[in-house]
Amino acid sequence: MCKKDSASKNPQIKSLAKTPTDLPSNSKSVKNLSTKKRVFSGIQPTGEIHLGNYLGAVKNWVDSQDEYENIFFIANSHSITMPHNPKELESSTYKLAAMLLACGIDTQKSALFVQSAIDYHPALAWILDCNISMGDMGRMTQFKDKSAKSSAQKASVGLFNYPALMAADILLYEVDFVPVGQDQKQHLELTRNVAQKFNRDYGECFKIPNPLIQKVGAKIMGLDNPQIKMSKSQKGENHAIFLLDSPEVITRKIKKATTDSAREIVFDENRLGLYNLLCMYEIFSEQSREAIEAEFAGKGYGELKSRLGDLLVESLRPIRERYDEIMREKGYIKQVLESSADKVRPIAKATYERAKNLIGLV
């Protein structure tokens, strides 16, 4: 389903290059100065961000920064559970940070850090590992899906234990909410279960996080196959529009997008290809469906694709330009990430120390 939306406006580097906002803990160990609910979200540094990622997740993060106390992290430790190129992982981590900043993540309002910068993530994951049964871990469908690509025998133990690290990521920061998609729902349930079990067995330690039900957003489908969601893992050069695509590439991909043989341009969910294009037009033009249908009355797909291509080029241009500007300042990216990590580390430390003491570690 579509939602009217607009491309984010991005501040200048000089306005972002300030110390991130304080994000104190909700626990008694670190005084909480914020009355906002705390939300925790993460993204892996694998592949480029495409239009579906942006409208379905990243833009929601940007738009929620005044409403919530947000902690965003780049889940690079999760990325090593699968075969990878170390240099590419390092590079893609900084590129993702630059892209999130370019999209509008403001580190005066939110924290943005790299998972591996805080040692308490794997430390707490081990404690949780020792409190999750093999049966519960074995029921996680993501391990089955990912290990099937090679074979369960060749899959890493890290991939099997992935949910424990994800639980540690969440529980360390005493969050109120975690935005979850369908593929992560099971992991949040495991997180809640192990936190409740630990609290019962050893004493009050973890805050129990709740799923955050996002406002209905845009579900962008593949340009070449509108029956599946737009994905960076799908093959085909015309499947997805990436935020860093050049104007020429965006225009070409839209022109080649799958439609149908009917002529009338209307919002009809049964006409998947057309509906997908009209959803994009609705979001970025900020027009009503009635106005859009009137605009294209008597016109063909060529006109729709031409105008949509131009609209996307202009809407994404500020993000591309901002990204290029940030990438020229690698020191700035590192400073932003390190500063945010310094702000949230005391929260993680307090949670880990509680768990460590309660379970009897010295």
Catalytic site includes residue 330: no
For the segment 116-151, what is each residue's pLDDT rounded down to a tens digit? 999 999 999 999 999 999 888 878 776 666 655 555
Q: Report if residue 270 sits inside a domain.
A: no
Question: Phi, psi (5° rounding) for residue 339?
Answer: -65, -40
In sequence order, which residues have a C-beta less than 8 Å from that of residue 80 and are 6 or more positions away?
A: 89, 158
Region 155-178 average pLDDT: 90
Q: Report if residue 344 sits inside a domain.
A: yes
Catalytic residue from among 3, 197, 229, 255: 229
Predicted local confidence at residue 153, as pLDDT: 61
**Domain interval for residue 166:** 13-217+339-359
What percent of the chain lies above the pLDDT cut of 70?
85
Bridge-partner residues for 73, per DSSP?
Answer: 42, 113
**CA atoms of 103 and 323, how far apart (whole Å):** 8
Q: Report if residue 178 sits inside a domain.
A: yes
Q: Report if residue 46 sits inside a domain.
A: yes
How many domains does one find in the chain?
1
Least confident range of 229-233, 321-325, 349-353? 229-233
The closest of 95, 59, 52 to 219, measured between CA atoms, is 52
Catalytic site includes residue 37: no
Catalytic residue from among 3, 232, 255, 356: 232
**CA atoms of 44 and 55, how far apart (whole Å):** 17
Task: Between 42 and 3, name the one with better pLDDT.
Answer: 42
Q: Which two tokens stand for residue 276?
A: 């997908």
Q: Is 244 helix (H, G, I), strand (E, B) or coil?
A: coil
Which single residue is written with the structure tokens 């509008």?
A: 104
Q: Report if residue 48 sits inside a domain.
A: yes
Catalytic residue from among 146, 207, 305, 349: 146
Q: How confident is the model at residue 4 (pLDDT cuts 50, 70, 90)?
A: very low
Q: How confident is the model at residue 29 (pLDDT cuts 50, 70, 90)?
A: very low
The closest of 202, 44, 52, 61 to 116, measured between CA atoms, is 44
Residue 12 has pLDDT above 70, yes or no: no
Q: Report if residue 317 sits inside a domain.
A: no
13-17, 153-157, 238-242: range with highest mean pLDDT? 238-242
What percent of the chain lies above the pLDDT cut of 90?
70
Q: Report if residue 163 sits inside a domain.
A: yes
Q: Is 12 helix (H, G, I), strand (E, B) or coil?
A: coil
Region 22-47 average pLDDT: 67
Q: Report if residue 148 sits inside a domain.
A: yes
Region 169-182 average pLDDT: 91
For the segment 260-289, what is each residue's pLDDT rounded down to a tens digit? 999 899 999 999 999 999 999 999 999 999
**Count of Cβ atoms closer than 10 Å to residue 190 Cβ:** 20
CATH of the domain at 125: 3.40.50.620
Q: How confident is the model at residue 292 (pLDDT cuts 50, 70, 90)?
A: very high
Region 201-205 average pLDDT: 98
Per 3-state DSSP, the chain is made up of helix, strand and coil in percentages (nearest 5) of: 50, 5, 40
For the segment 48-64, what is each residue's pLDDT rounded down to a tens digit? 899 999 998 899 999 99
Catalytic site includes residue 343: no
